[in-house]
């Protein structure tokens, strides 16, 4: 008979579940006993400040080696680089990525509002430096649309066309383009220097965790909005119309309005070239995607388009004969280093910080994706340092800020790249073009670059699919995505990013303000406790309410925690005490009437107070002359009629609520501040006024330590009110009630 492995596995699992039993026999524990008898802290001699400083500054060969290897990761893998296994793949990958770097460098320089050759510089120096300082083996550092657009917005703001008007009038304004471009390059280079400094300092301060505040929905919404900005900015190049470049809030609207106002002046030849290139590039991109497993390397559609269109433009002299705008002068060779203009730093700092954070977030996200896929790790802090050095050192050679490119990284990884050598080879290919044959691309129509940019944005626009997916999984993350997108589209990328981050932080506050609150019940014959509203098996313990709120308790939500506790348990001490006063008022009146009646009369008037605990409403029923009160309810227990010797105050207080204990499950509580500690202490005191005991369960050792630091344990609150588990608390409360 054949054996079916799945059935055999299930049977074994069932047998294992049936044979394993959980037997624990121990006394009920509370924090007082745990701290004094069960646990004993390890004795540690605190180190003096001088000793800690000495240990930190102490140097050894191992420590020095670790620092050097951490700062220069290339030293850890280059000596053991397997030439036969990796070299061919890195060469193919480097050439493929370099071929993409060339047209994208030229195109993204347009977004950065600087001449195209500066895009080539930015595709060489940073890529070369990342080989030595980076920890990711697969990301392709260089120009990127989102960062380039943010840079261009700042350049246009700091050096607008109006500053370089030759005649100084608005009627027939003539712009000195050479002076304008020179100033914009100075601004862009200075901002790149500042971006590098910010990233480097954040890396040294171990701020690699900074990217976690840019949650994935926020980044994807932001980059999709950036794709909208980029696409709109390229329409004028695709049509061949001349409009001003807008920046700031509603710049998308102003740009579209300017294009439509000038659409009558569309250059038909420019439009045809742009559309043909767009269709061709889309076809090649789709072909590469469909047959990526069969093609040894992706078809280099971009470089094909650039070469062919450059040749046609040169042969037909399109610039002169048809008025097609071309790239123009591309100087051969590298420019000498130059010190940036530090005087503009103060006005650029907010934008530089935003670019630094966004650039790092994009790079580390891609780096982690590839690291997870290929089984190695990346260091977020070292990535910050690497990006900072790439931007800072390169800025002296006239580059603009860079980060990892999504499309180039995918090509570099899919074509067999194994290490940073692929990026090194890509940078050398760009260097060859800059030094030797850069002038060849001077006749290249700018509409071709616009087509390259817009087709490369398709991947970002596909992120729109996040909307239905997030609608099904998380409405809050969907709200973050939408706010990030619309704020960035309407307000601009800089203000939009600030608004998106602020909204993301507000959602965290919202989650702590609106936690899930539950009353827990015991699963019979176990020590497990679950939400009574969710599970049929969960049964509440008689006279005990177990309250759980999945949030920490601090100044922002402590009042809400107390309100939820009272609403969920149905016990509000203030209302119960008010009801008691009302009862006492009627009791005194009835007592006076009883004293006026003859002592021999067997008939007495009695007041029966029935309390609806859940609604917090008291109902008084006064018996007639012929009715006798035979029993009353005290904490849910039926007792004999009280004697007149009992005080009226004690008698009416006994019957305020059938609940005698509330257990606060602190298992989900990660931290508590001084306001939260005072709030919990006041809750314990407040409920004690109506004879309801409040105890805590499930506190972590860190939380208990925090409570001690906050002076939580002082009369009437003692460590004996804290239990390690809910079951300990339940058993203790039941036993205490039985003893009474």
Residues 347-385 as b/e (b if ≥16 CB within 10 A, e otherwise) read: ebeebbbbbbbbbbbbbbbbbbbbbeeeeeebbbbbbbb
For the stretch 466-512, pLDDT in tens is 999 999 998 999 999 999 999 999 998 888 988 998 999 899 888 88
Instruction: Show the tokens assigned to 704.
Output: 């208990």
Residue that has been written with the tokens 């596909």 in this structure? 462
Q: 153: left (phi > 0), else alpha (psi -120 to 50), else beta?
A: alpha
Please count the other Cβ atoms lying within 10 Å of the Cβ belonging to residue 689: 14
Where helices occur in 403-543 by DSSP H, the ranges are 406-414, 421-432, 446-456, 458-461, 466-473, 475-491, 493-513
Q: Is the CB of residue 147 less than 8 Å from the CB of residue 223?
A: no
636 SS3 class: coil
CA distance 682 to 672: 15
Cα 253 to the center of its chain, rounded Å = 29
Mean pLDDT of 25-49: 81
State the average pLDDT over residues 341-367.
Answer: 90
Q: Are 230 and 453 in contact (CB under 8 A)?
A: yes
Q: How far is 387 from 218, CA to CA, in rounded Å?
A: 22
* Mean pLDDT across the chain: 83
Q: Using CA atoms, how far apart are residues 507 and 184, in angstroms rounded to an integer?
A: 39
Half-sphere exposure of 402 (CA within 13 A, CB side): 36
Which residue, among 31, 60, 229, 244, has the nearest Cα to 157 in the 3D structure? 244
* Range with the poorest average pLDDT among 355-369, 432-446, 611-625: 611-625
Beta-sheet strands, E only, within 576-670: 607-612, 617-622, 631-634, 637-640, 661-665
CB 130 within 8 A of CB 360: no
Nearest to 221 by CA among 488, 450, 518, 8: 488
Cα–Cα dist 134/131, whole Å: 6
For residue 273, the 8-state DSSP code is: H
Tokens matching residue 475: 């409405």
What percentage of the chain carries pLDDT values higher than 70? 86
Pairing of strands 693-697, 722-723: parallel
Confidence of residue 143 (pLDDT cuts 50, 70, 90): very high
- The pLDDT, as a whole number, for residue 84 is 86
In tens, the pLDDT along 434-477 reads 888 888 888 989 999 899 888 888 888 888 999 999 999 989 99
d(CA 388, CA 363): 12
How many of the other CB atoms lie within 10 Å of CB of 640?
8
Confidence of residue 15 (pLDDT cuts 50, 70, 90): low
Residue % of the chain over a pLDDT of 90 = 38
The better pLDDT of the pair 127, 655 is held by 127
CB distance 551 to 669 below 8 Å: yes
At CA 498, angle to CA 409 and CA 368, rounded to 5? 25
User: Scanning the structure block, which residue is given the tokens 């280059």?
Assistant: 78
What ranges do the domains of the chain cover? 81-509, 516-574+656-739
pTM: predicted TM-score of the whole model, two decimal places:
0.75
SS3 annotation, 237-249? HHHCCCCCCCCCC
Task: Note the pLDDT of residue 592.
Answer: 66
Res 636 pLDDT > 50: no
Q: Residue 349 in contact with residue 294, Cβ under 8 Å? A: no
**Pick from 213, 218, 147: which is nearest to 500 by CA?**
218
| DSSP code, position 175 | B
**For the ranges 101-105, 167-171, 563-567, the one whose mean pLDDT is highest:** 563-567
Closest by CA to 621, choosing from 655, 583, 573, is: 583
pLDDT in tens, 368-412: 888 888 888 888 899 999 999 999 999 999 999 999 988 888 888
Range in 47-61, 106-120, 549-563, 635-649 with the lowest mean pLDDT? 635-649
Neighbours of 324 (CB within 10 A): 23
Helices (H), 597-699: 648-654, 674-688
CATH class, range 516-574+656-739: alpha beta
């Amino acid at each position: 008979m054949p054996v079916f492995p799945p059935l055999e596995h299930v049977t074994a699992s069932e047998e294992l579940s049936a044979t394993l039993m959980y037997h624990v026999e121990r006394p009920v524990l509370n924090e007082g006993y745990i701290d004094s008898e069960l646990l004993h802290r390890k004795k540690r001699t605190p180190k003096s400040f001088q000793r800690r400083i000495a240990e930190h500054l102490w140097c050894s060969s191992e420590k020095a080696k670790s620092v050097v290897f951490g700062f220069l990761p290339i030293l850890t893998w280059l000596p053991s680089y397997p030439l036969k296994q990796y070299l061919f793949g890195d060469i193919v990958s480097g050439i493929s990525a370099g071929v993409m770097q060339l047209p994208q460098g030229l195109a993204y320089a347009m977004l950065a509002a600087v001449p195209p050759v500066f895009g080539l510089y930015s595709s060489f120096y940073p890529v070369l430096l990342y080989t030595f300082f980076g920890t990711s083996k697969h990301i392709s550092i260089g120009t990127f649309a989102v960062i380039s657009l943010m840079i261009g917005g700042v350049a246009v703001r700091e050096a607008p066309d109006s500053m370089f008007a030759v005649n100084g009038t608005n009627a027939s304004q003539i712009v000195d383009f050479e002076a304008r471009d020179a100033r914009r390059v100075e601004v862009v280079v200075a901002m790149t220097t500042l971006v590098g400094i910010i990233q480097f300092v954040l890396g040294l301060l171990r701020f690699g965790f900074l990217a976690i505040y840019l949650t994935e929905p926020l980044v994807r919404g932001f980059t999709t909005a950036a794709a909208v900005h980029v696409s709109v900015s390229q329409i004028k190049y695709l049509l061949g119309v001349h409009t001003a470049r807008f920046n700031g809030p509603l710049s998308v609207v102003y740009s579209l309005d300017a294009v439509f106002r000038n659409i009558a002046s569309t250059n038909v030849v420019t439009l045809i070239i742009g559309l043909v290139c767009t269709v061709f590039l889309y076809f090649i991109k789709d072909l590469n995607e469909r047959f990526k497993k069969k093609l040894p390397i992706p078809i280099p559609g971009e470089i094909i388009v650039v070469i062919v269109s450059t040749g046609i433009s040169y042969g037909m002299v399109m610039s002169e004969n048809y008025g097609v705008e071309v790239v123009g002068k591309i100087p051969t060779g590298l420019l000498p280093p130059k010190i940036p203009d530090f005087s503009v730093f103060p006005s650029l700092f907010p934008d530089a910080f935003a670019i630094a954070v966004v650039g790092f977030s994009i790079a580390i996200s891609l780096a982690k994706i590839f690291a997870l896929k290929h089984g190695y790790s990346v260091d977020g802090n070292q990535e910050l340092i690497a990006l900072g050095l790439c931007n800072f050192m390169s800025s002296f050679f006239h580059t603009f800020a860079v980060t990892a490119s999504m499309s180039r990284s995918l090509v570099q990884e899919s074509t067999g790249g194994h290490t940073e050598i692929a990026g090194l080879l890509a940078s050398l290919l760009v260097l060859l073009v800059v030094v030797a044959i850069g002038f060849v691309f001077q006749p290249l129509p700018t509409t071709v670059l616009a087509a390259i940019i817009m087709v490369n944005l398709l991947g970002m626009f596909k992120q729109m699919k996040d909307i239905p997916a997030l609608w099904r999984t998380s409405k809050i993350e969907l709200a973050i995505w939408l706010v990030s997108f619309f704020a960035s589209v309407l307000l601009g990328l800089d203000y939009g990013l600030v608004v998106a981050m602020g909204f993301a932080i507000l959602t965290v506050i919202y989650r702590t303000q609106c936690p899930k609150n539950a009353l827990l019940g015991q699963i019979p014959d176990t020590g497990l406790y679950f939400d009574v509203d969710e599970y049929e098996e969960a049964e509440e313990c008689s006279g005990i309410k177990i309250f759980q709120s999945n949030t920490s308790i601090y100044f922002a939500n402590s009042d809400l925690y107390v309100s939820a506790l009272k609403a969920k348990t149905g016990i509000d001490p203030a209302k119960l005490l008010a009801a008691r006063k009302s009862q006492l008022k009627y009791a005194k009146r009835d007592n006076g009437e009883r004293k006026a009646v003859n002592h021999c009369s067997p008939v007495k008037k009695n007041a029966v107070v029935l309390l609806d605990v859940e609604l917090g409403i008291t109902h008084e029923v006064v018996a007639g002359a012929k009715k006798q009160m035979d029993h009353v309810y005290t904490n849910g227990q039926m007792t004999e009629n009280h004697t007149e010797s009992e005080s009226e105050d004690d008698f009416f207080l006994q019957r305020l609520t059938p609940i005698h204990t509330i257990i606060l499950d602190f298992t989900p509580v990660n931290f508590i501040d001084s306001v939260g500690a005072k709030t919990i202490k006041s809750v314990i005191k407040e409920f004690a006024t109506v004879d309801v005991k409040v105890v805590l369960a499930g506190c972590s050792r860190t939380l208990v330590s925090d409570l001690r630091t906050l002076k939580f344990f002082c009369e009437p609150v003692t460590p004996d009110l804290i239990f390690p588990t809910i079951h300990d608390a339940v058993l203790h409360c039941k036993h205490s009630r039985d003893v009474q």
